[in-house]
Amino acid sequence: MSSDVLTAGRSAVLRGRQRYLPVLVTAGLLVAMFTVGGLRYEAFASGQIVLNVFIDNAFLLVLAVGMTFVILTGGIDLSVGAVVALSTMVTATLMTDHGWSPLATVPLVLLIGSALGLAMGCVIHYFDIQPFIVTLAGMFLARGLCYVIGTDSIPITEETYTAVAQTQISLPGEMHLSVGVVIALAVVLFAAYMLHYTRLGRNVYAIGGSEQSALLMGLPVARTKIAVYTISGFCSALGGVLFSLYTLSGYGLNALGMELDAIAAVVIGGTLLTGGSGYLLGTVLGVLVLGLIQTIISFEGTLSPWWTRIFIGLLLFVFILLQRLISVRRS
Amino acid sequence: MDDAPAPILRMRGICKEFPGVRALSDVDFRLLPGEVHALMGENGAGKSTLIKVLTGVHAVDGGEITLDGAPVSFSGPLAAQQAGISTVYQEVNLCPNLSVAENILIGREPRRLGRIRWKEVRRRAAGLLARLELDVDVSAPLSSCSLAVQQMVAIARAVDVSARVLILDEPTSSLDAGEVEQLFRVMRRLKAEGIAILFVSHFLDQIYEIADRMTILRDGRLVGEYLTSELGQVELVGKMIGKELKDLETLENAPKDIAAAERSRPFAEARSLGRPGSVEPFTLTIHEGEVVGLAGLLGSGRTEIARLLFGADHATTGELSVGGTPVTLRTPRAATNHGIAFCSENRRAEGLIPDLSVRENIILALQAARGWARPIPRRTQDELVDKYIDALKIRPADPDRPVKNLSGGNQQKVLLARWLIVEPKLLILDEPTRGIDVGAKAEIQRLVVELSDGGMAVLFISAELEEVLRLSHKVGVLRDRRLVAELPNDDHLTTGVLMETIASGGRS
């Protein structure tokens, strides 16, 4: 009988690989999309196309990183799109209308975003309310605050800021990157390190696995849950800064529905909505898939941009079903 | 008694009251280093409450707890754990998505400059498991391990956190025999290292195999502390139930026409019917007009047999025939169609709908049997409901009163009425008299006799041996989820014999 126990341990190694399956599927999908695009359109199969996907989606990538933390604990954050809009508004109004320096503006914006996240995290944990409804309230709050600042689009003309926005970092092979991409990738690397090499990161996974167990195992559940929403708030604010670098303006209607794009990217990247399973690499791939869909549709030329939504919708269905199949097989 | 080493843990005069219930009154308990100490008692005797009081889940209302001679009072399981008292529950409280190594060490991972040293984590986890003589791949996710291994991982974690007092609350209830053996090996090792282990289990054999000493609770009171080697199983069962053997044997026993019951046609015949893990294969025949009693301690598989016969659980082995034809009962609905009715033990959760009226609760099963497309005419409803309110003396005799406003005994009668109006051929009664007053109890017993005289087969499950004996034509005895004996209720069968059979497991 003890040999049964032993074999269970061995076959576990094989089953452990199943954990990487969703990420592998997303990677495969990405390669397939790129191959199809390369065969179908001239000038598609170039490194710059991939880099452009990064450039156009740097802010989404940062949002999705924060969302990954939240979803790994089994929660959700609907406020991120609105916080992005609020951040662009605050950035634009402070620099354009009040003449603030970017060095003062950006830290303040990041602080506002983190504080909002912290507040929502506290409400979620201490009052034991579903994250869905708390962050929905946060979303209305942040979106409403945008209109308190102004109902029109505010252009950003501050010199240093525009200079940073227009900086192109050259790479070999006549390719280039924006500052936003570098920041986004740095965030990804730092977050990946946090998730896999720090206690905070491991506690995030533990809570996603079973919050009750995490509590009984003596892990700091309260601190971790609040930290996760604070991180998401910070990422949203940083995403807002990147968004304002990208568009050089602030507007209350920016990033409408972007929280859903971020959630879609995380899910397509293989993170289970129930929490506890997923990787940041998957999230990066998920963002790339979303970006590549947009690119392909713009290359196609005749399709309306709304087809992007249709494809994202279909992909989400497929990936949710995939998640379901994997979790059914596990249990 | 005083030549024993000084106890690590001592609880004196512990009292705990919940609204309306005195869960513990004046209970003493002590735990010595290097012993396995079994906490015994039937459900509701106060075992869980004692553990919860000890680990700080509940605050004590009276009495004191001392650890190493110093009084302690824990704010929760965490504080208890930090002081050296770890608990491993029946349900494994670990994270299935994390690796085995992480589950053992999470929160205490070895780090350098805040960076977790994964190699060191795996090395230490493997070392800990090796100490428990377990060879498990520590980087495998916990969800891929068997329940037994998960249990061991939980123990490894508990031992690593604090190696003083280990509480194992029914760790064996979902393990098979081999896995239990493995767990016991681990327990013996830990015991040899001087760890005090508090062990709770419903399985008497396991207690006698592993425990050095036992403390028996009954109705929230301390019965006594005994050395396992000095207390026989029969005495143990007697102390748990609260009846001395000699008292029981003098009880009167109404004569039964066993032969007549045996002569009638068999209604339900189970041949090697079983569901391993829930109840071992059993063979049982229930004749028309026969009352078959099931006796055994709580958790011995009584309810599980009932659920198999009612199709609430699926049998994985053996076969069942009803009225001479083999049947497969996939759902309770199928069982109802074959004339089998089941009054569940848990009338609040599984039977009655508290907000519906007495009338609605009574006609529920009949209406379900007819299908929703054919509502029962109001007049028929009234006739049926009045008839059974009258026959069963349901009080108050008001068909429109919500069932939740009735007393427990009357609720039980409503549940009975519901199944009686569908006129079943086999009625399964699981603990029909538990928690109801003496008068209602007697009425339900009388009713069982009347029904069986009228030709109905009854499977009667009760924790009260006297009751089983008074009503049954024959008694099936269960122990450790196995039907160990089937005894005809003749002049020789007494509660003493039943208790001995339960204690010995049918071996004589």
Q: How far is A173 from A150, CA to CA, in rounded Å?
A: 44
Q: So what's the pLDDT on residue B243?
A: 62
Tell me the chain A residues in contact with residue B94 when contact means C-beta distances shorter than 8 Å: 210, 213, 217
Q: Which residues pair with B398 in a beta bridge?
A: none
Q: Which residues pair with B478 in a beta bridge?
A: B483
Q: So what's the pLDDT on residue A10?
A: 43
Tell me the chain B residues in contact with residue A10 when contact means C-beta distances shorter than 8 Å: 137
User: Do B106 and A217 make contact, defined as CB atoms within 8 angstroms?
Assistant: yes
Q: Which residues pair with B429 in a beta bridge?
A: B343, B460
- pLDDT digits 0-9 by tens, A250-276: 999 988 989 999 999 999 998 988 888
B9-18: strand order across its sheet: B21-31, B9-18, B62-67, B70-72
Interface of B with A in 49-88 (CB under 8 A): 77-78, 81-82
Answer yes or no: is A67 within a domain.
Answer: yes
A18: nearest CA partner in chain B: B141
Instruction: Report which secondary-structure segment, H or E, holds B272.
Output: strand B266-275
Q: So what's the pLDDT on residue A144?
A: 95
Residue B164 DSSP class = S
Q: How far is B55 from B48, CA to CA, in rounded Å?
A: 11
Tell me the chain B residues in contact with residue A330 when contact means C-beta distances shorter than 8 Å: 143
Q: Which residues pair with B271 in a beta bridge?
A: B319
- pLDDT digits 0-9 by tens, A199-209: 999 999 999 99
A10: nearest CA partner in chain B: B137
A8 — pLDDT class (breaks 50, 70, 90): very low
SS3 B329: coil
Q: So what's the pLDDT on residue B374?
A: 84
Best of B55, B95, B147 to mutate (most A CBs within 10 Å, chain A): B95
B257 — pLDDT class (breaks 50, 70, 90): low
B240 — pLDDT class (breaks 50, 70, 90): confident
- Smallest CA-to-CA distance from B238 within B456, B41, B33, B15 is with B41
Answer yes or no: is A238 within a domain.
Answer: yes
Answer yes or no: is A163 within a domain.
Answer: yes
Does B220 score more than 90 pLDDT? no
Quickly list DSSP for A225-244. Answer: HHHHHHHHHHHHHHHHHHHH
B204 — pLDDT class (breaks 50, 70, 90): confident
Cα of A228 to nearest chain B Cα, Å: 17
SS3 A69: helix
Among A75-89, A162-176, B157-171, the minimum mean pLDDT is found in: B157-171
Q: Burial level of A37, CB count in 10 A (0-12/13-18/19+)?
A: middle
Q: So what's the pLDDT on residue B376?
A: 85
Tell me the chain A residues in contact with residue B140 when contact means C-beta distances shorter than 8 Å: 9, 12-13, 15-16
B1 — pLDDT class (breaks 50, 70, 90): very low
Mean pLDDT of the A41-52 span:
86
Answer yes or no: is A168 within a domain.
Answer: yes
Q: Please tell me which of the candidates B111, B116, B148 has its beta carbon nearest to residue A5.
A: B148
Answer yes or no: is A208 within a domain.
Answer: yes
Write down the mean pLDDT value for chain B. 83
Answer yes or no: is A177 within a domain.
Answer: yes
Mean pLDDT of the B353-366 span:
86
Q: So what's the pLDDT on residue A11?
A: 45
Q: How far is A250 from A258, CA to CA, in rounded Å?
A: 15
Does A5 score more than 60 pLDDT? no
CB neighbour list of residue B417: distance below 8 Å, 6 or more residues apart: B362, B385, B388, B389, B391, B392, B394
User: Do A277 and B97 make contact, defined as CB atoms within 8 angstroms?
Assistant: yes
User: Do B144 and A209 make contact, defined as CB atoms within 8 angstroms?
Assistant: no
- pLDDT digits 0-9 by tens, B5-46: 788 899 999 998 877 667 888 999 999 999 999 998 876 678
User: Do B78 and A218 make contact, defined as CB atoms within 8 angstroms?
Assistant: yes
Tell me the chain B residues in contact with residue A73 when contact means C-beta distances shorter than 8 Å: none
Residue A114 lies in domain = 58-263+273-279
Q: So what's the pLDDT on residue B265?
A: 84
Write the Ramachandran bin of B448: left for phi over 0, alpha for psi from -120 to 50, otherwise beta. Answer: alpha
Buried b (16+ CB within 10 A) or exposed e, B383-409: ebbeebbeebebeeeebeeebeebeeb
Q: Count up the domains in chain A and report the number.
A: 1
CB neighbour list of residue B387: distance below 8 Å, 6 or more residues apart: none
Cα of A184 to nearest chain B Cα, Å: 22
In this prediction, what percent of chain B has a pLDDT beyond 70?
91
Structural domains in chain B?
9-243 (3.40.50.300), 244-339+424-508 (3.40.50.300), 346-423 (no CATH)
Q: So what's the pLDDT on residue A79?
A: 96
Q: How far is B423 from B444, CA to CA, in rounded Å?
A: 17
Q: So what's the pLDDT on residue B347?
A: 63
Tell me the chain B residues in contact with residue A199 when contact means C-beta distances shorter than 8 Å: 107, 109, 111, 114, 116
- pLDDT digits 0-9 by tens, B430-441: 888 776 666 677
Answer yes or no: is A316 within a domain.
Answer: no
Does B246 score more than 60 pLDDT? no
Is the pLDDT higher at B346 or at A177? Answer: A177
Q: Burial level of A187, CB count in 10 A (0-12/13-18/19+)?
A: buried
SS3 A44: coil
B185: nearest CA partner in chain A: A2
Q: How far is B382 from A253, CA to CA, in rounded Å?
A: 65
Residue B34 CB: number of other CB atoms within 10 A?
15
Mean pLDDT of the A86-93 span:
96
Answer yes or no: is A291 within a domain.
Answer: no
Write down the mean pLDDT value for chain A. 89
User: Do A13 and B178 make contact, defined as CB atoms within 8 angstroms?
Assistant: no
Q: How many interface pairs between A and B have CB atoms less than 8 angstroms apart? A: 106
Q: Which residues of A touch B (CB under 8 A)?
A: 1-2, 4-6, 8-13, 15-16, 19, 196-199, 202-203, 205-206, 208-210, 212-214, 216-219, 276-277, 330
